[in-house]
Amino acid sequence: MSATANPTIRGFRYYDLLVGGMVAVLLCSNLIGPAKVCTISLPLIGALSFGAGNLFFPVSYIFDDVLTEVYGYAGSRRAIWAGLGGLVFASFMSWAILAMPPSPVEPFNAKLQPALETVFGATWRIALASMVGYWVGDFANSYVMAKMKLWTRGRWLWTRTIGSTLVGEGIDSLTFYPIAFAGIWTGQTLAKVIAFNWAMKVTVEIVLTPLTYAVVGFLKRREGIDTYDDATNFTPFSLRDEGDVRTYR
């Protein structure tokens, strides 16, 4: 590999598709999944309950890993801000639609309005917790991913995908649940829920590691790029494309 000047991220073939996929997974897991609580029984452990969205939310971290590994921290940073913008708009849209008075002449509204409130009527604390937890967790994930790539000199991809998820999902859980439920749940319940959801999200990352390898390999070959953040400014408050990029030749 040899170093070249950094091309504009937006000029890559698959970058926009990955950003769109990441935002779609993020919105679906935050708007659809939290309304349903699932319970499963495991041998030796017993019954475990969790929000259905937690099963799919880790997929957004896989997108973040792929974006950071292939396009660098700057590429992931743009995607994270796009995701936050989507969450803000979705939360506002949900509030506005639920606040509009339903038509009294439409009999179906008598059933539809309560259903919409149940599914999309998150409290302001939960909405705020989702946005803050996502923002700090994803940036922590991307930062650790980029730094570990430098430390490992691009080897052992699995160590940084799992290592960054341990940190990012941990910070996300430690942020989301206290903001959303402190004072409502007991401290013991909070601790149990945080630990279980963190472990479940990391497990999803581990199980999907072969898929991450396949996607990363495909993108590096097709895009002809492999980014190392030697000279990147790791501030989250920027949308500039920057970094030392090494491309395959």
Domain boundaries, the chain: 2-247
**187-196 confidence digits (pLDDT tens):** 998 898 899 8
**125-135 confidence digits (pLDDT tens):** 989 999 999 99
**195-209 confidence digits (pLDDT tens):** 988 999 999 999 999
For position 34, what pLDDT does the model report? 66
Both structure tokens of 33: 């999944």
pLDDT band per the 50, 70, 90 thresholds, residue 246:
low
Decide if pLDDT at 28 tops 50: yes
Percent of the chain with pLDDT over 70: 91
For position 1, what pLDDT does the model report? 44
Decide if pLDDT at 35 tops 70: no
**53-74 confidence digits (pLDDT tens):** 778 899 999 999 999 999 999 9
**61-110 confidence digits (pLDDT tens):** 999 999 999 999 999 999 999 999 999 999 999 999 999 999 989 888 88
**Start-end of H helices in 182-208:** 187-207
DSSP string of the chain, one letter each residue: -EEEPPPPGGGSSSHHHHHHHHHHHHHHHHHTGGG-EEEEEETTTEEEEEEGGGGTHHHHHHHHHHHHHHHHHHHHHHHHHHHHHHHHHHHHHHHHHHHSPPPTT-TTHHHHHHHHHHHH---HHHHHHHHHHHHHHHHHHHHHHHHHHHHHTT--HHHHHHHHHHHHHHHHHHHHHHHHHBTTB-HHHHHHHHHHHHHHHHHHHHHTHHHHHHHHHHHHHHHT-EEE-TT----SS-----SEEEE--
Q: Once rounded to an integer, what is the mean pLDDT over residues 208-219?
A: 97
Q: How far apart are CA 67 and CA 82, in angstroms?
A: 13
Decide if pLDDT at 6 tops 60: no
Q: Is residue 223 within 8 Å of residue 201, measured between CB atoms?
A: no
For position 223, what pLDDT does the model report? 93
